[in-house]
Structure 1
Amino acid sequence: MSSTITGKNLLRPNSLQCTNLQEYLKSRSPDTLNKLYHKPPICLAVFCELPVIAKHYVMRLLFVEQPVPQAVIASWCSKLYFEEHQKVVQVLNELYVWKEASIPGGLPGWTLSSTFKKNLKIVLLGGGKPWTMSNQLETDSKPRDVAFLDSYALERWECVLHYMVGSQQQEGISADAVRILLHAGLMKRDEADGSPIITQAGFQFLLLDTASQVWYFILQYLDTIEARGLDLVECLTFLFQLNFSTLGKDYSTEGMSEGLLTFLQHLREFGLVYQRKRKAGRFYPTRLALNIATGETKPLTRDTDKEGYIIVETNYRVYAYTNSNLQVALLGLFCEMLYRFPNVVVSILTRDSVRQALKSGITASQIVGYLRQHAHSKMIEAGPPILPPTIVDQIKLWENERNRFLFSEGVLYSQFLSQTDFEVLRDHAVSTGVLIWQSERKRTMVVTKTGHDDVKKFWKRYSKGSS
């Protein structure tokens, strides 16, 4: 008599979740976190990303060798910020940075995790073993400057993006990188010929800034790292060592394990490090690696310094002064192409082109953000606002057209034997506040998924009593 129905994701696809370092570590098991906290670079990365109040608590407890009463720690923060204090307590608990400990007399207290405390002291005060890549090197005969490393990193990363949009201007990427794109759900196998094609999540991914794209991609890579026979703790430690390295400085590969050298080659392909040859004894971290620990939307210097190329007019025409196939392909995600010349592309924002982008999972704010981020210098000089308000409002209105309906999961009840049975069950659903919709003529009703069990039990009692 009942069946579950759902309206989820009919018009609103799930947004791409780009978690930060904290969220990633919270998803790891306590044993894994304990192994990670044996590595000073990871302790430093975790400490750097803690909320300000949490850093304050950690520093106060760092040199205290006994548990401190929870009431005392709470007094370190003004009562006006009690909610922030509660959130900080939750973060430190979930990351296993501290743990509860009893104090003589029965008072509850907190003490820092011994492993985290020991290794954070090492990284702040000095000591411990030298980092893997800290061996001394002879001066490089062909040193690479920051400008070269930035150009190399973006060039390597854009190869991945070219592959996703199916652009003709691309170097092939490795089968390993393709497997990661498939694992991440950014691409899927075409049912017809089995070739990789972009997904809804992939469309959203393309409109993220470079730093967020790289962080998301690396998270997906880490999910598959143990299946490759690599050590997660070793690779994460190296990743965070890169995060604290110096841009433009070369580092040694001497003493690295085979697994770490394999990991280095994967990072080299994605543009996180530059290495002249596979067996070269040195490598240079790029700016992509220096952003990696935050997992936040911190744009690269080249992202912010490079000249914008998009002009948007009030008649919905979009001019892109570029000869990059990748940039043209990205614009084509939400614009209808009209003309293409050697150094400029003319396109137009239409209801159909924007709605097609919305169906692919791209949001109005992402479209507006992309146009604003890559706006031509002439538009920036004429602003604010950078984009014509009418264009911004219309894109949002086109999105709202698709969001006029609210969908909720529910359970359908139908095929009642009599009108009385229908009315009794409907009235019970109304009285408990779980009725979503009903049709008296069709003897059909829908109740919320959470209220289904209660309605089902009531129906069984009613059926037994009336039989």
Structure 2
Amino acid sequence: MPQVKIIAKNFMDMVASLPAIKLDKLYNNVFICEAILRSLPPLAKKYVLQMLYTDVPVPGTMMEEWVLADGVSKHRVAIDRLIQLRIFSEMVDRKNQTSYSLNPTFQNNLRKHIISGGVLPREPMNSDNAIKLPSLLELETYALRQWECFLLQLINPSQGEKLAGISPSMMRIFQRGLLSQRDKDGPRLTESGFQFLLMDTNAQLWYIIREYISNAEERDVDPADLISFLLELSFHVTGEAYNLNTLTEVQKNTLKDLADLGLVKLQQGRKDSWFIPTKLATNLSVSLTDSSVRKEGYVVMETNFRMYAYSTSKLQCEILRLFARIEYQLPNLIAAAITKESLYNAFDNGITSDQIITFLQQNSHPRCADRIPSIPENVTDQIRLWEADLKRIEMTQAHFYDEFPSKDVFEAACDFAREWRGLLWEDSKRMRLVVKSEIHNQMREFLHSQSK
């Protein structure tokens, strides 16, 4: 599924913004080095691996020879990313020649990891101790259920009491930027919030994790330590049990939050407690690359604006409710219709016609996805037309002036308004004028000076 960009700080930019001391501390973990390497653009990966066993700076002119003539722009992007992450150090000599060298901490730990592999600070518990472990299928079902409940609570706070979920304070952190509060109205999904729902699960996951990391200091947690633990968690084995006693208090508290998101499952035995990573957790380092895979669609759109969604998911029902009228719901089928009123509600919430059409196309049922177009043209055209209806008139705060003492004063006032880029309308015959309200005070002062 095509990546939908949301207005949010990129995770790698967050890593790059860490102070040099904390970044070196992060690079002391071999698993972090591997995760960062995975996240790099292909050409940047090539440069890192090619220079991994080079202990002297490499001239920039030599590196330019490593790429074809049409790869100059990609070369620049790769170099910029490596410098931002402080994996590369840039040096300029007396002859104004640029050369690059690898971060020694990153270089040494990546060498160790490639040669001998990394050893996690904790090993899976013995099967004798980890009793009643869920099967991989049960674990996946649990993770998806927790993630869906979290998203439902995120986009529909009115259901918060019905769902066993994360604490209200943490939920407010995650809702920041995705929901907006209007006067006398409940929270509404923003344009960014709808884009968030269009993302694949991996991209959604990293958006939430980025928000979680960015607010770490408010919880007296070092962001570098949190990033290190989260990426380290992604290298654990799905379905294996790991003893909670091997964790610090901060890490234990983090796992409680991650359990609400479905990244881990917590279990209690007679003597020990343990956590079991799910696929959501082990995919964290994969999500870091912002890669996405098209999900199998579930929506069938008809030319009469009726829509059938083959799904048992409450979350998908709530997403459809954002722009369609739900007519009835069967155990595995949601019947809905796109109406003028339902779309006006969506447009009022900041959702655009293009976003709705893209969502329908990306989630088309496999039998419809192969058709061209996958969504009937009369439906897409009408959605755009209904949005255009709302944009016919643009309201501008303005002030009206008339009864000018002379033609010269009127023309001078028009020229003054033009200079301030505030002239909206003029009637030279009747000497009437309309200007933007932003320049009203300046116009008053100008007219007062003209009357002297």
* TM-score interval for Structure 1 and Structure 2 normalised by the shorter chain: 0.7 to 0.9
1:53-92 pair list within 5 angstroms: 53-92=43-82
Local SS of the residue matching 2:125? coil
Deviations 1:33-70 (A, max 9, x none): 33322222222112111111111111222211121212
Contact 2:11 2:210 in 1 (8 A): no
**Cα RMSD (Å):** 4.0
Name which of 354, 361, 382 aligns with 1:394.
382
Query: Is the CA contact 2:90–2:101 (under 8 Å) kept in the aligned structure 1?
Result: yes
Specify which of 183, 202, 212 is matched with residue 203 of structure 2.
Answer: 212
- Equivalenced residue count is 425
The residue that corresponds to 1:347 in the other structure is 336
In structure 2, do the counterparts of structure 1 residues 345 and 111 end up closer, same or farther at CA, with 3 Å as the change threshold? closer
What is the TM-score normalised by the length of structure 1? 0.76
Partner Cα distance (2:238, 2:227) in 1: 19
- 2:289, 2:56 → 1: CA distance? 35
Q: Which position in structure 1 is the counterpart of 2:280?
A: 288
Please name the residue that 1:432 is paired with: none
Is 1:174 paired with 2:166? yes
Q: 1:319 aligns with which of 301, 308, 330?
A: 308
1:269-300: CA deviations, max 9, x gaps? Answer: 11011222398543222121233233466568
Residue 229 of structure 1: aligned partner? 220
**Which residue does 2:254 correspond to in 1?**
263
For the structure 1 residues 341 and 282, does the alpha-carbon distance in structure 2 shift closer, same or farther, using more than 3 Å as the test?
A: closer
Q: By how many angstroms is 1:88 displaced?
A: 1.8
Could you tell me the TM-score, scaled by structure 2's length? 0.79
- CA contact 1:167–1:329 (8 Å) conserved in 2: no
How far apart, in 1, do the equivalents of 2:77 and 2:317 lie? Answer: 44
Q: Deviations over 1:378-437 (max 9, x none)?
A: 5357x35433233233334444555678999xx99x9999446446657768xxxxx585
SS in 2 for 1:222: helix
> Contact 2:179–2:189 at 8 Å: present in 1 too?
yes
CA displacement 1:237-259 (0-9 Å, x = unmatched): 12112223333333343432111
Q: Who is 2:116 aligned against? A: 126
Q: Which of 104, 126, 135 lines up with 1:114 in the alignment?
A: 104
Aligned partners of 1:291 and 1:215: how far apart in 2?
Answer: 10
Structure 1 unmatched ranges of 5 or more:
1-14, 430-434
- In structure 2, the CA distance between the partners of 1:291 and 1:119, relative to structure 1 (3 Å rule), is same
Corresponding residue SS for 2:284:
coil
**Partner Cα separation in structure 1 for residue 376 and residue 102 of structure 2:** 53
Q: CA deviation at 1:236?
A: 1.0
Counterpart amino acid of residue 56 in structure 2? Q
Q: Check conservation: 1:167, 1:325, Cα contact below 8 A.
A: no
Counterpart for residue 359 of structure 1: 348
Does the C-alpha gap of structure 1 residues 377 and 107 become closer, same or farther in structure 2, counting only changes over 3 Å?
A: closer
Structure 1 distance, partners of 2:29, 2:250, is 17
| Structure number with higher relative contact order (C-alpha < 8 Å, ≥ 6 residues apart) | 1
For 2:124 and 2:314, locate their aligned partners in 1 and report how far apart those are by CA, in whole Å: 42
Change (3 A) 1:103 1:59: farther
C-alpha displacement of 1:98: 0.8
**Corresponding position of 1:368:** 357
- Secondary structure of 1:276 counterpart: strand
